[in-house]
Copies of this chain bind each other. A is one copy, B any other.
Amino acid sequence: MGRIVQKYGGSSVADAESIKRVAKRIVATRQLGHDVVVVISAMGDTTDDLMDLALKVSPQPPPRELDMLLTAGERMSAALLAMAIADQGLKARSLTGSQAGIITTGTHGNARIIDITPGRITKALEKGDIVIVAGFQGVAQDTKDVTTLGRGASDTTAVALAASLGADHCEIYTDVDGVFTADPRIVPSARRIPRISYETMLEMAACGAKILHLRCVEYARREHVKVHVRSSFTDKDGTWVEDWEEGSQMEQAIISGVAHDRSEAKITIVGVPDVVGEAARIFEAVAAADINIDMIVQNVSAVETHRTDISFTLPKTDGATAIAALRQLQDELGFSDILYDDRIGKVSVVGVGMRSHPGVTARFFTALAEVGVNIEMISTSEIRISVVVDTDDVDRAVAAAHTAFGLDAEEEAVVYAGTGR
């Protein structure tokens, strides 16, 4: 019998009823003879509600105290889930991140896991208990203060535990049947991808596929943890993310999927003097503001000679900060203007297949042209081509690409309510 780590999101434990339903699924897994460790998120909107409360008390709550407050959410859902399991006759034990041995950096609000000491988990498993771990949280190695791991963190907690516990695999439960060739909400004919490599999944996540968070996939690849992404509403097989050479199959699709992302904005710095080191200075300034840049393009300025225009994309949420940081450099660097556009979307085709198939770019751009979508920016990696288009063109672009690369399925995909994260 194996050892399995399961992760359930907030919408799977939104109320007493859904907690009982999740408990049933966990009990069923245990009764197959597996060791079961469950990572759980906070109930439904708990985290948002707590955040609202914090902001009522203080417009800028200290991060340490915010972590102390927010981690109460997973602590409650973990205890309630353990009760529900006990009510179904099996022994369960809830553990906070700290009790579970999730050792992190001291960066409150966005800590990183640096070690896992799962002594209490393994002891409980040896006694035959089911272990419920509060996700999203850990304890700082130096200060012993409670920390949170930032966005998508419960998935990362689950994968990290699976690695340190030598689990057979890690099941991430969500509200769709797995990873799809495109967002089924946009492309009804999207197909479930039964099996996908870490590399492809990483590109998909980086390009906006919300189903798995980037950090979680990175961790899984590094530690070789098999991840099974599946729906908590069915028993169907989902998507297996694992070590695998996609090229190895016959009639393998050239690309694995089409991802899109509307969370970014575009900043264009107009008329940058064409002098060595100017670009570096600009991106140093942006990096100094702790902003992650995605795509960058540089062109000879359309308007001025001996000058270039530099455009880059970044999270919308960082737009204001970036512009402020750049304005301070305007006189020093002597560029003429800063343009900001947050009505953009990124559409990407991803797949190792394109390595061996020339003309992928051509086919992608033709498909976009045929539905009248104008391309604003282009960036490529070995297994990905991304374009920035007008936010209103995103859906059309995704659908066109999905069809152009022969990904459309016969029947439509099922989409469940809720978000599952």
Which residues of A are at the interface with B, using a C-beta cutoff of 8 A? 16, 19-20, 50, 53-54, 56-62, 64-66, 68-69, 71-72, 75-76, 78-80, 82-84, 86-87, 92-94, 96, 99, 120, 144
Contacts and interface: CB of A to CB of B under 8 A. Distances in A.
A76 B72 contact: yes
A86 B58 contact: yes
Contacts of A59: 87
A62 B75 contact: no
A143 to B, nearest CB: 10
B75 A57 contact: no
A220 to B, nearest CB: 29
Nearest to A16: B56
Contact of A76 (B50, B83, B86, B144): B50
A382 B69 CA distance: 49
Name the prevailing secondary structure of the A interface residues: helix
Contacts of A76: 50, 53, 69, 72
Contacts of A144: 99, 120
A99 B143 CA distance: 11
Given A65-B94, A68-B94, A94-B68, A19 B57 contact: yes
Contacts of A62: 82-83, 86
8 contacts: A16-B53, A20-B57, A61-B87, A62-B83, A62-B86, A65-B93, A66-B83, A72-B76
Contacts of A96: 68
Given A57-B84, A65-B86, 19 more contacts: A19-B57, A50-B76, A54-B80, A57-B80, A58-B84, A60-B87, A62-B82, A65-B80, A65-B94, A68-B79, A68-B94, A68-B96, A69-B75, A69-B76, A69-B79, A69-B80, A69-B83, A72-B79, A120-B144
A65 B79 contact: yes
A26 B323 CA distance: 41
A93 B75 contact: no
A237 to B, nearest CB: 29
Contacts of A71: 75
Contacts of A66: 79, 83
Ranked 10 nearest A-B pairs via Cβ: A58-B87, A69-B79, A16-B56, A68-B79, A58-B83, A72-B72, A61-B83, A65-B82, A65-B79, A57-B84
A167 B152 CA distance: 44
Contacts of A72: 72, 75-76, 79
A62 to B, nearest CB: 5
A93 B79 contact: no
Contact of A80 (B20, B53, B60, B80): B53
B75 A54 contact: no
A15 to B, nearest CB: 8
Nearest to A93: B64
Contacts of A75: 68-69, 71-72, 75
Contacts of A82: 62, 65, 68
A75 B75 CA distance: 10
Nearest to A62: B86
A93 B78 CA distance: 25
A158 B354 CA distance: 67
Nearest to A70: B79
Contacts of A83: 54, 57-58, 61-62, 65-66, 69
Contacts of A120: 144
Nearest to A81: B57
Contacts of A92: 65
Contacts of A86: 58, 61-62, 65
